[in-house]
Amino acid sequence: GVFAHLELLEVRAYEAAVKQEEMEQQEEKLARLKARVQELRLQRDELRAKVEQQQKGQLGKEGAVLNPAQPSARAVLEWKMKSLKAMLQIFYLTGISGKLTKRGVCFCISTAYEGTYLDSYHLDLLTKPEVQIYRHSVPIFIPLRQIAKKYLQTDIRRFLSVLSDHLNAYVGRRYQADQLQEHFSGQIEGTLQRNSLCNLLVFNYNVSSESKTFPFKVRLLYGDPCCSLPTEVVISCTPDAPASLAETAAAHSDLFRRVALHKAFRSFSSAGECVD
Amino acid sequence: MDETVAEYIRRTVLKIPRDEIKPMLQKWGFLSEVQLETVNFHQIKENISQDVVQLCEENSAGIKQAAVLDIIYNNIYPNKRIWSVYQMNKTGEETEFFDLTDFKKKFKRRLRSALKNVTINFREYEDNAIWIRIAWGTPYTKPNQYKTSYVVYHSQTPYVFISASVLRSNLPLLCQALVIASNYHDIHEMELRSHSLNSLKDIVFKRYSQNFKTYYPRPLPERNVAPETVDLRIIQENKNEKERIQRLNWQVFGDGPQPKIEFAQYKLETMFKSDPKMDVLDKKEPFRCLVKFSSPHLLESLKSLAPAGMADAPLSPLLTCIPQKARNYFKIREKKGLLPGSFVSP
């Protein structure tokens, strides 16, 4: 009766859903293949254009005219090497690249901060009997062992990703502190107190108001090891500072939280705020 | 100005090579440029030191300033002392926010609570190195400025470099103060000692060149330099062997300069292995023996052994593991088990 009818409807609905999923998968696959075809077509067009250009414009590097119909074996090899090098360069630029070794893999993590390439760090991993770190060049103050304990055995991609985050954040913080010391040393009173991880910076800088200068003491705490912006900013001024400076302090505090340190200082000078 | 301070400054200046005195005093910053101009740095050192002391008198130098000059001297000439490496451990996994002011306060407080008569001075350097100078006294005598220990610590690392003075009895106290100030749980001495502080740092911070295999095109070492006018009549008989040695050497030692250590010591407690028929020793006891390798630059000399033909390549891993294992003092005992061999104890 009713139950049988319901069962029938359920079966139909299930079948319909399965069909729908299949169709969607097919469509997805089709879309991917179409995109790939586009990609390849584009590549082919590029290569065609290159070949044409070379045929037209070139007299041959060796001083002889190359037969355009049959590129020499040497030219092919050179082209292969060049494109392979370019591919490897691309992998390197993604930040994480690796090379198989006799006993495992050797990874290279390259870091960068806002367009500036910074240091590279290496990890030599063994894969048998289990994944372990044979040797590395990661700085000692990066918690490599803890990250490895968490992820190395179970999810190597995550391990590399987390480690890369730590390293990139560290070099980013270090870069900002270095830039501050290099370009804005005139505005800083005394020394910039920092540490190896650059996750705690304490320094004084001068702010002027009503033709008098007042020192601001700032303490930047970078609570997130994978972040290059501070999580905690404390700015204090001397008790004799005018009340208006409290607003400036709040504004600066907000700025430090959002913007790279040296850029924040640059904006002080350019915004016409008198930071001596 | 205290007479002892004056004498201490005088002796410190006398240690400095003549050409370096003015730059070091400038680094010190205690005497003004104008004052420094009044000193003739070409006279004999005895007189230079007297002049400097005179100027320090004018500025009323105290022990604190004298101590800073001493730190500067030791920082520029650290190789005059022997440094040991200590490793600290902790169980917590939270991120450390090293606060320098906090560290200094805790260190001084711990040390002073146990021993009132100490002079403690700090100086920070750009590579995040914190130099600590401690002059030790006793519960009844003032600190002896000539009996000093130096500590070099890089924040947020588990390694401490200590150049202890003659008074090793103060070492436990010093270690305890370091552990507390840096938020670690315990500390132990590693089997790693050298005169070259920077090399010790290179070894434990892994700053020496380990040749990692990467694809990133880096300039290959110039091994195949354009050959000089080759006389085809001369054939390199051992070319293959030479290349094999070069390759093995490069694999082990890498391209760059080796950390500088002056000795490696191996304490052997192994059984003498001989033909059982010969039966040299009556008793089956471990043969105790100490082997010490000394060199102005041990690792570089090991690197050149095989290419010079003095040893077979590859070298024994006992020699080549020094930077990676971060030790140059080894104890070798028998490996207990079916296979004979030697077992390096931790």
- Give the minimum alpha-carbon distance from B284 to chain A in angstroms, rounded to a whole number: 37
CA A5 from chain centre, in angstroms, equals 58
Counting the structural domains of chain A, the total is 2
Size of interface A-B (CB pairs under 8 A): 86
Last residue of a domain, one of A121, A146, A170: A170
pLDDT value, residue A54: 83
In a domain, A246, yes or no: yes
Cβ contact (<8 Å) for A196 and B97?
Answer: no
Window 22-51 of A, Cβ < 8 Å to B: none
Nearest-by-CA chain A residue for B321: A135
Cβ contact (<8 Å) for A124 and B159?
Answer: no
The CATH number for A162's domain is 3.30.457
Task: Please say whether the beta carbons of A197 and A177 come within 8 A.
Answer: no
DSSP state of A259: S
CA A26 from chain centre, in angstroms, equals 34
* Cα angle value A196/A202/A207 (rounded, 5°): 145
CA distance B228 to B158: 51
CA B195 from chain centre, in angstroms, equals 5
Same domain as A193, residue A146: no
Confidence band for B341, pLDDT divided at 50, 70 and 90: very low
- Taking 70 as the pLDDT cut, the residues of chain A under it are 58-70, 270-276
Closest CA to A175 of A222, A231, A129, A236: A222
Cα separation values, A111 from A23, A120, A168, A172, Å: 43, 6, 5, 9
Closest CA to B332 of B322, B342, B346: B342
pLDDT value, residue A247: 85
Indicate the CATH number for domain B83-205: 3.60.90
In a domain, A133, yes or no: yes
pTM summary value: 0.78
B97 touches chain A (CB under 8 A): yes
Residue type, B153: Y
Closest CA to B130 of B111, B157, B109, B151: B151
Cβ contact (<8 Å) for B215 and A223?
Answer: no
| B23: exposed, middle or buried (Cβ count in 10 Å: 0-12, 13-18, 19+) | exposed
Contacts of B131 (CB under 8 A, 6+ apart): B71, B74, B75, B122, B123, B124, B125, B150, B151, B152
Highest mean pLDDT, choosing among A32-36, A174-178, B142-146, B322-326: A174-178
In a domain, A75, yes or no: no
pLDDT value, residue A123: 92
Q: Give tens-digit pLDDT for B75-129.
A: 999 999 999 999 999 887 788 889 999 999 999 999 999 999 999 999 999 888 9
How many helices (H) and strands (E) chain A has is answered by: 6, 8
Q: Give tens-digit pLDDT for A220-241.
A: 999 999 999 999 999 998 887 7
> Percent of chain B scored above 90 by pLDDT?
58
B215 CB neighbours in chain A (<8 A) are 88, 91-92, 97, 99
Cβ contact (<8 Å) for B205 and A140?
Answer: yes
Last residue of a domain, one of A144, A170, A196: A170
Same domain as A160, residue A95: yes
Q: Is the pLDDT of residue B329 over 80?
A: yes
Q: Give tens-digit pLDDT for B49-60.
A: 999 999 999 999
CA B220 from chain centre, in angstroms, equals 30
pLDDT value, residue B163: 93
Same domain as A212, residue A164: no
pLDDT value, residue B252: 84
Run of H or E including A130:
none
Q: Give tens-digit pLDDT for B264-310.
A: 999 988 777 766 666 666 566 777 789 999 999 999 999 999 888 88
Q: Give tens-digit pLDDT for B206-236.
A: 888 777 776 655 555 555 555 566 677 777 7
Indicate the CATH number for domain B241-333: 3.10.20.720
B236 touches chain A (CB under 8 A): no
In a domain, A192, yes or no: yes
* Cα angle value B35/B41/B44 (rounded, 5°): 130
pLDDT value, residue B227: 57
pLDDT value, residue B149: 94
Range of the domain at A131: 91-170
Same domain as A216, residue A155: no
Last residue of a domain, one of A120, A148, A170: A170
Same domain as A261, residue A197: yes
In a domain, A154, yes or no: yes
Q: Is the pLDDT of residue B343 over 70?
A: no
B154 CB neighbours in chain A (<8 A) are 141, 196
pLDDT value, residue A62: 47
What is the domain partition of chain B in residue ranges? 3-76, 83-205, 241-333
